[in-house]
Chains A and B, each alone.
Chain A
């Protein structure tokens, strides 16, 4: 692990600090100490199972939240201003009023934060209060308790389909072999079942928690999901070791095992799954970060303006030899010294010009984002009818980041694919049968209903063939093929009731418990009975009664297959479709029902399980009738093909036929692989002689029990017998891609996004999928990095390879830098290699290499690696990242990325819970990013810029006036009017734009993903845009001030009458330049008229009373307003028009080359109406986009 959660490190440090001499934890049973006080408990130092992920507590909410909020510079500023208002020398106007904005801002944010935290608290509570069974010494049985009651050292029992509450050392299962199956989908996303074994020495004997006197010694909590070791020490110092295969992990689900019990070793935050969960982090959007620096610029600007004011005032005061009557002395008759007056003036100026820092900006942004989220969730195109769910926006403050994504990290299974394996094609002894009907994408069904999903429509031709063989000879390659399909696997058969439905399981439990109670009291004294058996039996009862209820509607002989992998499930369902259904599997027998309803009960002699070196699995069975020993094998094509007997040795007739079959099959296999199917070869070996097998079996047993070099010897034996195969055929299974995945990926690519796929799956599958979803093209140059465990050596090699590749690539790149020969390089890397590549000495090269790759595929990566990759790219390349995934194994990645997207509906809700946005299908990403992301980004960017612009423009009006009033911080606009104006007339319109504005229509955005690049390069809001806006604001404020000034200078204009046209112009020019909106103008006039009619003496001594009326009766007012507006907007409009023409010209050329193909050819006229309008539309939108800074106000 190259990356560890700092929290974990901290915790580790803490524990180490605690038990300096104990690197391990010792757990003993809690039962003997059950009644003791907490401090006498032996396991008291270990965390309990209650989890808490919320940040605040009720009592500490306000101080903590305030503390957090004051991390925002702006908030500190506002508070400082508010305090300043109360300083008497500053002479503020109504200091109480100044408190309102900051209070509103803080309150709004606090409510939002509180709500989010409360939701986290609720989910925690829900988890903490999930029921589970803990052994109680008083009752002498497992009692129903809550998850939060579980402590280290408790004995906990988990029933089938229940979620495991803590990390439990397995001591007992209902399975006679001491095996328990567990689904780890919640942890690593793998849907296959994992086998867990009872700690050696405990299997077989019934669990008696009350007599458990051993102590468990194991390592301290860590986040490695695949490593765990320790031993059980009996009172007589006898030690039994155990490993990860005896640990039930929190968050996983028990499958296929009626019940399992054990002692809790890690609980709560110390469990492996929780340690793997790097906690939530506050995501701050990119715009917001940038905005903060711009706010700082504004502060600097403000500082200088205030400084000028202060200096000006001091100098102005100095010019007087004797004070004029309007300079008011202090109450004692003395005048404040000029310098001091100037100093005071500095602060007064801050208050006067405070609007410079956009007070309402933060609130407005929150508001706009809320609306944006509303619109995103309301989008009917992102609604999934099958699941009846909309897109969910869980993070409220990063909508615009959707428009700036540069790197997309995607999970594979369940995100790109449906996570449903579909049997697509098979080739039997050289004949290819394409099951076309299966290729048709059926209606979407939840993966939990395995039956429906795996229905295979038999190929008619093949069906006939099978029937013919069944009727005639009872044996034949076809039958063998399907028998191999049916039995050569590790699929378990279970009843319908064992469906993965928790609700029903709970119902069973309750029944079981009530029955168990009387039992246990009865037998309590008699002997050392253990209750698990009893409730086991009653549990069975519950299940059987349940079965009756359930089976009545759904038919009786429904069987359910629990496959380790979806591939196996697909195969066995395919066999079933042709009538070969496995009906039972025990460790020693497999029963298969043939199409003619006959049952064949094979004796299983041995199973050679799958491993990644041999890449095949075999089953050796004895045929019930002929007593022949037959071996069926399936495996990767190369692994089987190379072991075909006779094909390349002899040269008889038969051989050549077999050879032909092999060649044909190979051809089919190649074709399957090209189509992105997962291929498997099937073969059998018939002529295994009894004695031969016996001999081999003996060797095999020996190897099994060997202590050293066990692996090698097992491999050897397997290789020995797996030879001389007869090829039966091959299958092609499709992990069906979700609809429109290739299109989506193409679109995202065109939009300039780099796409990485991170999967826990094996490289072969991942590559197949990558090809079929067009992530990799067949003409791409694909590098595959993989390594085996010899770490040191491989690391050297990798360094070499990486540098080599880099060089090579550079060469390649320089050779083909032309636009036509864009090198497209794919990189496939596996988890082990990845962790090496991410080590310090290689990471730079690795990142450099990745930058050149069109697609990167990381296989066999752990959840933490996923997040580490995301973080690496984020940090090294400073890009915006998006992670999309559906399983709990993607949670870390989702949280690490700037934007985390959860795909819901496939594998539980963990990914969704951790995500910022939750969608139902991968294709929704296209619309979410290209349309909503773009909109949100441009809207917000425009709004932010606008805010700065409007504030600077407005504040500068006041500032220019200072030159004509002795820098005395007089405002020529009534204070209340100023507040209103800022609030309603200049904040509301940009908010409206921020919500509703639509520069480019969604259809254009979707058809031209390139438009997205504007957001990626932050073109909407960058430093230059900011400064252009500020400069323009300066210019406009100059115009707005000096045209009225020259007009009215020397006239009898009153102070507020002078401010009125400026105010009006400020409004007019803003509204005019964006959209001709009459409404705000009307409202403004009405409100100002009303205000100046009411306000007889609200701002004495020079009230704004009747000023607006007077002004509006004066034609000069209108003349001034019109002239000022036009002059203020003139440069902006002129520049914009010129640029627009220029761009139109450029774009025309661009688009003549790009778009026309459809429209032009359809209607031979080169510029049919539709084309023209379409083109204009796009031209316009592009120009708007490129030159938004012209038109944005």
Chain B
């Protein structure tokens, strides 16, 4: 009766077509869930303790200088410990820079051309609004000010410096010439090719401060790295003592309720000081442990009543 053609339409009997592929589903049985909750809880508590302790070792000194008069004499500070640490000086702004890309559109408008149709270099609103306060730090030793050298090298991302940004090649061995026909951004006091006249590697688009600034901040309260203290006598960290900070106040924030801060902080593997994560880990870890206990109780209750019924 049967020939080969007759079963031609028979479906293939494979695990795939017959939907018999092995599958693993998380089996939520009490025996697995309760111990794993406990384990996760304990692990989290461990991590939390680690994070918290690390965070505690980070020393932060910050100062809100919004509204201080320009070039006003600074203050006395006696907070730095003797610890050897690489300190970072960062400035912190409380204002929105994360606004919609439409304010920073890719064609830079309206900061692409000035009124005479000259191209603005660097263009765009972010570049235009660059932070231009400068800080000078002095240690006061016996009444005399000793300047603390602030190291501005390598504060930007390596990739930004080496790959993403390029300076135009010099025209007639003059770097400034290559910017001919362009104008500086409206808010800038000086053009891009004069950002750092002392170091040609830190000038133009490769200026470290410029690169740092061009990384858009995500949140309204943000910090950006200004300098590191790594050089000379202070390579091992700022010793305890009195310091004076000289701020060249250029950047207006008061008009939009912004705040400016300067922050001295040492860093660890977890970045700046942040207690939140450690505490969060501790809380969640404890919660997990509690949950495992609750579940154990519930499970035991059911189990118990079950045994009752079985008996």
* Partner-B contacts on A (CB < 8 A): 91, 93, 319-331, 348, 375, 377-380, 383, 385, 388-390, 935, 964-966, 968-972, 996-998, 1002, 1043, 1045-1059, 1075-1076, 1096-1097, 1099-1103, 1105-1106, 1110, 1114-1116, 1119-1120, 1123, 1126-1127, 1130, 1133-1134, 1136-1138, 1140-1142, 1144-1145, 1148-1149, 1180, 1184, 1191
Contacts and interface: CB of A to CB of B under 8 A. Distances in A.
Given A377-B11, A996-B23, A1054-B216, A1049 B221 contact: yes
Interface stretch (B2-10, B72-80, B138-146, B232-240): B2-10
A764 B99 CA distance: 81
B21 A1053 contact: no
B105 A379 contact: no
A1052 B19 contact: no
Given A322-B255, A1050-B219, 16 more contacts: A321-B255, A378-B12, A380-B11, A380-B12, A388-B8, A935-B19, A964-B96, A970-B98, A1053-B219, A1054-B218, A1102-B126, A1115-B269, A1116-B271, A1119-B270, A1120-B277, A1130-B287
A1059 B125 CA distance: 22
B171 interface: no
Contact of B102 (A91, A377, A1043, A1046): A91
B38 to A, nearest CB: 13
Contacts of B30: 1137, 1141
A319 B99 CA distance: 15
Given A325-B125, A388-B6, A1052 B225 contact: yes
B222 A1051 contact: yes
A1047 B10 contact: no
A1123 B281 contact: yes
Contacts of A1115: 269-270
A969 B100 contact: yes
B182 interface: no
Contact of A1051 (B28, B128, B223, B284): B223
A388 B95 contact: no
Given A380-B18, A388-B9, A1075 B26 contact: yes
Contact of B103 (A326, A1050, A1119): A326
Contact of A1138 (B25, B221, B298): B298
A249 B225 CA distance: 91
Contacts of A1048: 218-219
B242 to A, nearest CB: 27
Contact of B99 (A331, A970, A1045): A970
B217 A324 contact: no
B215 interface: yes
B299 interface: yes
24 contacts: A91-B102, A319-B257, A324-B255, A325-B128, A375-B17, A379-B11, A964-B219, A968-B96, A968-B99, A970-B101, A1046-B276, A1046-B280, A1052-B223, A1054-B217, A1101-B126, A1116-B270, A1119-B47, A1119-B270, A1123-B281, A1126-B288, A1137-B33, A1140-B28, A1142-B302, A1145-B305
Interface stretch (B156-164, B173-181, B192-200, B201-209): B156-164
A904 to B, nearest CB: 12
Nearest to A1098: B106
B109 A1045 contact: no
B18 A1075 contact: no
Interface of B: 6-13, 17-19, 21, 23-30, 33, 40, 44, 47, 51, 90, 92, 95-106, 109-111, 124-129, 157, 159-160, 163-164, 187, 214-225, 253, 255-258, 269-272, 274, 276-277, 280-281, 284, 287-288, 291, 295, 298-299, 302, 305-306, 309
Contact of A1052 (B17, B51, B224): B224
Nearest to B310: A1152
A328 B125 contact: yes
A1049 B10 contact: no
A348 B105 CA distance: 14
Contacts of B97: 326
Contacts of B28: 1133, 1136-1137, 1140, 1191
A1054 B216 CA distance: 5
Nearest to B33: A1137
B291 A1134 contact: yes
The residue among A323, A328, A375 with the most chain B CB atoms within 10 A of its own CB is A328
Contacts of B95: 324
B284 A1148 contact: no
Among B19, B110, B255, B309, chain A packs the most CB atoms within 10 A around the CB of B19
Given A1053-B218, A1106-B157, A1137-B33, A964 B276 contact: no
Contacts of A319: 257
Nearest to A975: B101
Contacts of A965: 96, 98-100, 220
A1119 B104 CA distance: 32
Nearest to B109: A331
A555 to B, nearest CB: 20
B277 A1055 contact: no
A357 to B, nearest CB: 21
Contact of A972 (B98, B125, B160): B98
A1097 B215 CA distance: 12
